[in-house]
Amino acid sequence: MRSPQELEKAMTHTVEPSTLATPAVGLSPRKLPPALRRRVPRYSDLAPLMQFKKPEFSKAARLNRASTIWELRDIAKRRTPKAPFDYTDGAAESELTLRRAREAFQDIEFRPGILRDVSSIDLSTEILGQESRLPVGIAPTGFTRMMQSEGEYAGSQAAEAAGIPYTLSTMGTASIEDVAAAAPAGRNWFQLYLWTDRERSLELIERAAKAGNDTLMVTVDTAVAGARLRDVRNGLTIPPALTLKTVLDASYRPAWWINFLTHEPLTFASLSRYSGTVAELINSMFDPTLTFDDLDWLRDTWKGNLVVKGIQTVDDARKVVDHGADGIVLSNHGGRQLDRAPIPLHLLPEVSAALKAANSKAAIMLDTGIMSGADIVAALALGADFTLIGRAYLYGLMAGGRAGVDRAIQILEKDMARTMALLGVSRISELNPDHVRLLGR
């Protein structure tokens, strides 16, 4: 066998152009510049190209290969049984609201400025009196440990590490106290369903305050539960009752199944101190009798920041601010309640204009449909002060636990920084409606 040196020496002679492919029309073979004359490649030319990377199959490698939230969703779908995946991924009825919310972001046209210094991008912003390193926080999600066993612990710790707020749901599977202990340096918020039984509500409010939560987020778009048909078809109820079909489906995802069996059983952790069944507690959570008088009671009771989630009209935005809300979340519950509900991104410019006209200092937040950092930048440009992600981080959670949530946040941060640089802005305060245009569909 020849040595590499012998091979290279044998391959160094130049081949006459006439013996190879015909050169471009109009050029004489013998008048070609040296760089364009064909020759047999030398070993030294090929050697740098023949570097085969060892394949990596670890969880970390798989997550690092994901460069979009959609790719995390693909991983999550492979790793998660159909029932919990659809619980996260699905929406109400024909799911038109969720589809339209995502289409609204797709229909954004950016209008970049040029010749701006964007060598340094600052994504930090102030929300409800404190700084957040990024203009996005984690939205409240129910039964999170059903999606992946690390659940709320992964979400709160990832938020703590990223320097952004984390919101625990009343229907979470980790208690207020446990989340505070898991992320002691994090900014923890608590989401509340205001019940008819004020004593139960009051106890949760007091526990949230004692655990250091500075913001209470009351959800007001759940007079009754939406028709989440994927859950019905999968036999998944609230509380979950897994059928033989869903158990068999879970068995094809052994990691999920092992985690499910070897960790503490799923419960609504913040409600575990109450007597009665979980179903009875849920029935009392979704109270169809709530009015603005109840909001007044809550404002008098809670001394921290009060945010009202589920605003879907300009008039209601004005009203809740008049009743003492420090912030609002334009949200249709991720499309999981009323199908064909208003799209938060479409509503945003009008709400922003109305509150500015009233000289309101209330924070405007937005969720539903966010799947990229560019979506977040578009919302900020149209008047949002802050955004919240639910599914986007849950896809990361299902894809890889805490590491998956970290990856989701990293993807969004990189998207935001790149989008802002290409728009010609270096900080959040420079974004304005001139940077975007809503296209008609």
Return the HEC string of 87-137.
HHHCCCCCCHHHHHHHHHHHCEEECCCCCCCCCCCECCEEECCEEECCCEE
Q: Are the CB atoms for 337 and 221 separated by under 8 Å?
A: yes
The pLDDT-based confidence of 265 (bands split at 50, 70, 90) is confident
Say if residue 320's pLDDT is above 70: yes
Please list the residue range(s) of the chain that carry CATH number 3.20.20.70.
66-438
Say if residue 340's pLDDT is above 90: yes
Single out the catalytic residue among 13, 263, 323, 333.
333
pLDDT score recorded for residue 18: 46
Q: What is the DSSP letter of 195?
A: -
**333 catalytic residue (yes or no):** yes
Q: What is the mean pLDDT of residues 179-191?
A: 97
Q: Which two tokens stand for residue 327?
A: 């912030």
pLDDT score recorded for residue 27: 59
Q: Between these two residues, 169 and 261, which has the higher pLDDT value? A: 169
Q: Which two tokens stand for residue 383?
A: 């008047």
Third-level CATH fold of 66-438: TIM Barrel (3.20.20)
Q: Which two tokens stand for residue 87?
A: 């619980």
Quote the distance between the C-alpha of residue 264 and its chain's center: 26
The reported pTM is 0.87
d(CA 230, CA 243): 14
Conformation bin of residue 25: beta by default, left when phi > 0, alpha when psi is -120 to 50: beta
The pLDDT-based confidence of 15 (bands split at 50, 70, 90) is very low
Please give the radius of gyration of the chain, using alpha carbons only, rounded to the nearest integer: 27
Comparing CA positions, the residue from 383, 405, 387, 386 lying closest to residue 396 is: 405
The pLDDT-based confidence of 283 (bands split at 50, 70, 90) is low
d(CA 112, CA 156): 35
Quote the distance between the C-alpha of residue 107 and its chain's center: 19
